[in-house]
Amino acid sequence: MAGNSNLGAAKSAKNDEFYTQYADIEKEINAYIEYNPDVFRGKTVLLPCDDPEWSNFTKYFAQNFETLGLKKLISTSYAVESKQYKEGYQLTLFEEQNPNFDENKTRKNGKIFVLDHDTNNSGRIDINDLEWHYLEGDGDFRSNEVKALRNEADIIVTNPPFSLFREFLAWIVEADKQFVIIGNMNAITYKEVFPLIKENKLWLGNGFNAGNAYFRIVGESRDYANGVFDENTGLVKFRNCCWFTNMEHGRRHQLLSLMTMADNIKFSKHKEIKGKEYAHYDNYDAIEVPFTDAIPSDYDGVMGVPISFLDKYCPEQFEMLGITEKIVDSTVEAIRIPNFTKYDRPYIDGKRMYSRILIRKKQ
């Protein structure tokens, strides 16, 4: 399997049918529970964009309904006609053999699954108590029907369509809800996203194992993930996926263990750092730190670090100043060196660098 990600191709093609593995969901949610065991207790959780028959999100929260102490679980799906793989779509026995099945509605209407009580008198609430019916519309999260469910919920958890990430995040923020969602790490640089990060209203979640996310696919989705589909596992690998959240977890507050600038120059494992001085940008009053583990512990000035730094960012250790993109505020303006022709990204000796987050060590 190739190691490169093709999320961009998936986004351009608007092919969004990638299904998250149960183990990844469990690992992520456990991080919030470990930080606060009651984080989900008494809460209504909404799983929009979710295809409940296929989704491990629905399975996880339904199976752990009582353990988490949920008040209510709501899961919704898009109508078949709205999906890229609609021609190859096959009914599940779950739907076809259910009394609610409607041959006309099944392709044009979304579905809603609700879990909030013991329907089969088993003495516990679990996945067997899920009740479902067709939505009036196609299940689009922007519809008034699904907006009403959003407004009812306390926490929103899902893997939203890659092609609609900006709009989906705005939809959540508009309602001021807690959330745990999956997205492309490059979304950090979006003008709709970075200000939320800087204002401490959004941060990265606990993360996928070794930064690698593996998704199951259906239909023809593999056509838009060339080079990353594994015929043996049936999974697609993405290297730049991450969890975005506004819910606390312990790893977010772990201080980075760092070397001094002198020790980095002497001992760093990176050839760009070892035996060299830290470069200063042409257009920003800041030094270039190309690797998170090369951040010098004793430097008090402004530093430019990769966007992947956010995976290790501890708000008690560093101050977030801005980003070297077109997202500019007074703080970033103050860091700019006057009379340079471009400020879209940092430059060193006239060479354009990658996007950098501007940080400073907290005193």
Closest CA to 76 of 102, 103, 55: 55
What are the respective helix, strand and coil percentages of the chain, to the nearest 5? 30, 20, 50
Tokens standing for 148? 């009403």
pLDDT in tens, 45-66: 999 977 766 789 999 999 999 9
Query: Which amino acid type is present at position 229?
Result: F
DSSP code string of 133-147? EE-SS---TTSHHHH
The domains of the chain, with CATH numbers, are: 7-252 (3.40.50), 261-361 (no CATH)
Q: How far apart are CA 139 and CA 111, in angstroms?
A: 7
pLDDT in tens, 84-120: 444 444 555 456 667 777 777 877 899 999 999 999 9
pLDDT higher than threshold 60 for residue 5? no
Give the pLDDT score at 210. 83
Closest CA to 212 of 315, 311, 293, 294: 311
Give the pLDDT score at 55. 86
Write down the residue that tokens 């950098």 correspond to.
356
Contact 100, 168 (CB under 8 A): no
Furthest CA-CA distance within the chain? 74
Percentage of the chain beyond pLDDT 90 is 70
Query: Which amino acid type is present at position 355?
Result: S
pLDDT higher than threshold 60 for residue 162? yes
Give the pLDDT score at 98. 72
Q: How far apart are CA 251 and CA 247, in angstroms?
A: 12
> What mean pLDDT value characterizes the chain?
88
Q: Residues 201-228: what's their mean pLDDT?
A: 75
Tokens standing for 236? 């697609």
Q: Residues 128-138: what's their mean pLDDT?
A: 93
Give the pLDDT score at 92. 56
Q: How far apart are CA 73 and CA 45, in angstroms?
A: 5
Q: Residues 21-39: what's their mean pLDDT?
A: 97
Q: How far apart are CA 247 and CA 24, in angstroms?
A: 17
**pLDDT range class, residue 17, cuts 50, 70, 90:** low
Distance of CA 143 to the CA centre of its chain: 22
Residue 284 DSSP label: B
pLDDT in tens, 240-255: 899 999 999 999 999 9
Give the pLDDT score at 217. 77
Contact 296, 353 (CB under 8 A): no
Give the pLDDT score at 296. 98
Q: Would strands 72-77 and 203-204 be described as parallel, antiparallel, or unpaired?
A: unpaired
pLDDT in tens, 305-314: 999 999 999 9
